[in-house]
Amino acid sequence: MKTYKIALIKGDGIGPEIIDEAVKVLDAVASCCDFDFSYEEALMGGCAYDITGDPLPQETITTALNSDAVLFGAIGGTKWDNLPREKRPESGLLRFRKELGVYANLRPAVVYDELVNASSLKPEVVRGVDLMVVRELIGGIYFGEPKGRDENRGWNTMVYTRGEIERIAHQAFKIAMTRTKRVCSIDKANVLDVSQLWRDVVTEIATQYPEVELSHMYVDNAAMQLIRDPKQFDVMLTGNIFGDILSDEASMLSGSIGLLPSASIGARIGVYEPIHGSAPDIAGQGIANPIATISSASMMLRYALGEIDAANKIDNAIKRALSEGYRTKDLAQYDAKEVCSTSEMGSIIANYSAKCKH
């Protein structure tokens, strides 16, 4: 039997509560599959600073690099807000992503039928939305040189190399092959030279994936189309800053931040984490929604471990829990038949995930 090594980074605030539920679900699904998990916990964020004086101890990087994948909760909290920037929990997370070289950020936006009323858009616009933003994460204007400011000017540089575009484009096309085989590449090629290179390289890479239909869209139009008719999109491929903005916009289609997973992947180990933060305002109360983290665990099975059946079991179990009316407090006003705690929601999804086909 295969045993996958998973590095668990629970972090701060609600991090430990939601990771515990994801582990419960992973163990449940493993109980009816031919693989198992071994977990190693590692510290990051405020809790790591409190114990070691560093928000990202070297040991955590080593643990992550020796694993098959990282399941991450969330870090941060007001307790650490006044530390010098490099000691703050958020600096630990940025350093971590860089150390692991995770250049592709995958953010699915799925609207569950049962929660169409939770979206700020009309039900008929969001019902059936199932798209994936593939955002380049460690290049572009956030990292380009030169950058700087003086009293009267500030400047940053948006730069992409052919290699950076090629590798993120491959990710997007590979993901599209597992979905409905459509990639829309978002850029600003009508104005920016860097975007024209982006468009040319993406078009070249597309020839290696003849089954995938490629289209291009300017980012300003894409921002509008996401709200007008989000169902037209399958995979949205884009650079760092455009992806930052569009993925936040896409995330609001589905209603609650407690539902949304993400994956950050690169050449080596991937990091699977909810998009939300450590929610210090609700930590320790047992009311956090664990679905974003459980769904991130499903992405880990799908993208890091290639266990597609197991990932589908979890996704179906989440849908079933929602369709039967189970809701955590954040979604209690949307057709709840029963409002449950973080742990109860984890147990319900674990139970449904463990239903074997045979």
Segment interacting with ligand NAD (CB under 6 A) among 68-76, 104-112, 230-238, 308-316: 68-76
E-strand ranges in 172-306 read: 182-187, 213-218, 235-238, 261-265, 271-274
- Among residues 10, 24, 188, 313, the one annotated as catalytic is 188
Nearest-angstrom CA–CA distance, 75 and 49: 11
- Among residues 244, 315, 329, 334, the one annotated as catalytic is 244
Residues 6+ apart with CB under 8 A from 43: 9, 51, 52, 57, 59, 60
Q: How far is the CB of 232 from ligand NAD (least distance, A)?
A: 28
- Among residues 50, 113, 248, 309, the one annotated as catalytic is 248
Residue 244 appears among annotated catalytic residues: yes
Select 40 or 248, whichever has its Cβ closest to ligand NAD.
248
Q: Which of residues 83-122 bind ligand NAD (CB under 6 A)?
A: 90, 93
Select 140 or 258, whichever has its Cβ closest to ligand NAD.
258
Q: Which of residues 287-326 bind ligand NAD (CB under 6 A)?
A: 288-289, 292
Q: Evaluate whether 353 touches 313 at the Cβ level (below 8 Å).
A: yes
Q: Evaluate whether 212 touches 177 at the Cβ level (below 8 Å).
A: yes
Residue 12 appears among annotated catalytic residues: no
Residue 248 appears among annotated catalytic residues: yes
Q: How far is the CB of 128 from ligand NAD (least distance, A)?
A: 24
Nearest-angstrom CA–CA distance, 235 and 237: 6
Q: Evaluate whether 328 touches 342 at the Cβ level (below 8 Å).
A: yes
Q: Does 330 bind ligand NAD (CB under 6 A)?
A: yes
Q: Evaluate whether 72 touches 272 at the Cβ level (below 8 Å).
A: yes
DSSP tag of 300: I
Q: Does 254 bind ligand NAD (CB under 6 A)?
A: no
Q: How far is the CB of 108 from ligand NAD (least distance, A)?
A: 16
DSSP of 142-162, one letter per residue? GT-SS-EE-SS-EE------H
Q: Does 270 bind ligand NAD (CB under 6 A)?
A: no
State which of residues 16, 55, 77, 239 lies at the interface with ligand NAD (CB under 6 A): 77
Select 239 or 290, whichever has its Cβ closest to ligand NAD.
290
Give the bridge partners for 20, in sequence order. Answer: none
At residue 343's C-alpha, the angle toward residues 61 and 270, to 5°, is 25
Q: Which residues are catalytic?
A: 142, 188, 220, 244, 248
Which residues are near ligand NAD by CB under 6 A?
74-77, 90, 93, 257-258, 273, 276-282, 288-289, 292, 330
